[in-house]
């Protein structure tokens, strides 16, 4: 029964990731963590997350012609955030970090909807926002293994096509996940059981990814970004609802 739940979460999450670039770790990591320890869950999910990110980057590779230079401040800041998340903040209750992430995302989505009539800025015109969002994305990867929501929120606020959005998001995920996987491997997180589980989820991951890719190709630009924002809001609300109880620990 536990494997069935993990497989369903991997299938649905992978499909969502093929559409909007995120959702896999959000669904699959908690599902694995129900039956295995959190470090094992993050380790198991990190590899298929990076593989699906590579596939997303490859199928949107034509966007590379537009350049990645404007996003370098974001990437550099994400490395600093990852270092913080893997050291100092790793001692915090992960429920608190997930609650914070959910509240932050809800605020970002509402802000973008309220300012939807304002012209979105080009990435080179908002380096400070890129640094702040990159720092937060790295912290969230290091603490709860969920950086993609922050990256997606950052990118939806910029003037990008859906192809460039997914390419930049996926490329960022690959870089961050590679660093995280090396760190987890050095910490001994990839036991035989973890590797076996990681291999087992491969089939539902790629099945869901295939279906999600078909949907991505069908969505026009405006409908695509509305779908991404709706998914962000739903996942943010679920994070708040699932981790609200951590506040009682401070009372």
55-98 pLDDT, tens digit each:
999 999 999 988 888 899 998 999 899 888 877 766 777 788 88
Compute the average pLDDT of residues 150-176. Answer: 89
Q: Is 120 helix (H, G, I), strand (E, B) or coil?
A: coil
Residue 37 has pLDDT above 80, yes or no: no
119: DSSP letter: P
Compute the average pLDDT of residues 35-40. Answer: 74
Residues 6+ apart with CB under 8 A from 109: 153, 229, 232, 233, 236
Q: How far apart are the first and last CA of the chain?
A: 36
Report the pLDDT value the prediction gives residue 244, as an integer from 0 to 100. 86
Residue 43 has pLDDT above 90, yes or no: no
Compute the average pLDDT of residues 147-169. Answer: 89
- Contact in structure between 151 and 175 (CB atoms under 8 Å): no
- Contact in structure between 166 and 225 (CB atoms under 8 Å): no
98-143 pLDDT, tens digit each:
888 889 888 888 877 776 555 567 777 778 889 999 999 988 888 8
Other C-beta atoms within 10 Å of 221: how many?
12
Compute the average pLDDT of residues 27-45. Answer: 78
Report the pLDDT value the prediction gives residue 6, as an integer from 0 to 100. 82
Report the pLDDT value the prediction gives residue 168, as an integer from 0 to 100. 92
- Contact in structure between 121 and 159 (CB atoms under 8 Å): yes
Report the pLDDT value the prediction gives residue 62, as an integer from 0 to 100. 92
10-32 pLDDT, tens digit each:
898 898 898 888 888 878 877 77
Residues in the chain: 251
Better-scored residue on pLDDT, 216 or 30: 216
Report the pLDDT value the prediction gives residue 85, as an integer from 0 to 100. 83
Q: If pLDDT is split at 50, 70 and 90, which confidence band does 179 have?
A: confident
- Contact in structure between 130 and 73 (CB atoms under 8 Å): yes
Closest CA to 142 of 102, 91, 99, 107: 91
Report the pLDDT value the prediction gives residue 89, as an integer from 0 to 100. 61
pLDDT > 70 fraction of the chain, expressed in percent and rounded = 94
If you average pLDDT over every residue of the chain, what do you get?
Answer: 84
Report the pLDDT value the prediction gives residue 163, as an integer from 0 to 100. 92
Give the span between the Cα atoms of 79 and 84, in whole angstroms: 9
Report the pLDDT value the prediction gives residue 226, as an integer from 0 to 100. 81
Report the pLDDT value the prediction gives residue 9, as an integer from 0 to 100. 85
For residue 126, the number of C-alpha atoms closer than 13 Å in the C-beta half-sphere is 16
Q: In terms of pTM, does the model score above 0.85? A: no
């Amino acid at each position: 029964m536990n494997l069935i739940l993990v497989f369903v979460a991997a299938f649905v999450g992978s499909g969502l990731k093929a559409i909007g670039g995120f959702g896999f770790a959000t669904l699959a990591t908690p599902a694995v963590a129900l039956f295995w320890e959190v470090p094992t869950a993050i380790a198991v999910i990190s590899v298929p997350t990076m593989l699906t990110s590579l596939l997303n980057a490859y199928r949107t590779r034509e966007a590379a012609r537009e350049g990645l230079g404007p996003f370098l401040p974001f990437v550099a800041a994400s490395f600093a955030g990852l270092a913080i998340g893997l050291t100092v903040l790793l001692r915090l209750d992960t429920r608190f970090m997930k609650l914070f992430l959910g509240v932050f995302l809800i605020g970002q989505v509402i802000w973008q909807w309220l300012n939807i009539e304002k012209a979105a800025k080009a990435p080179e015109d908002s380096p400070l926002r890129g640094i702040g969002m990159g720092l937060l994305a790295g912290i969230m990867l290091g603490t709860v293994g969920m950086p993609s929501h922050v990256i997606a929120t950052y990118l939806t606020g910029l003037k990008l096509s859906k192809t460039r959005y997914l390419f930049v998001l996926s490329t960022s995920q690959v870089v961050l996940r590679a660093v995280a996987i090396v760190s987890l491997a050095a910490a001994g997180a990839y036991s035989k059981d973890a590797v076996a589980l990681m291999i087992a989820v491969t089939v539902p991951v790629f099945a869901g990814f295939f279906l999600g890719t078909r949907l991505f190709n069908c969505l026009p630009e405006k409908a695509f970004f509305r779908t991404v924002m709706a998914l962000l809001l739903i996942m943010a609300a679920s994070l708040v609802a699932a981790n609200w109880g951590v506040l009682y620990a401070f009372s």
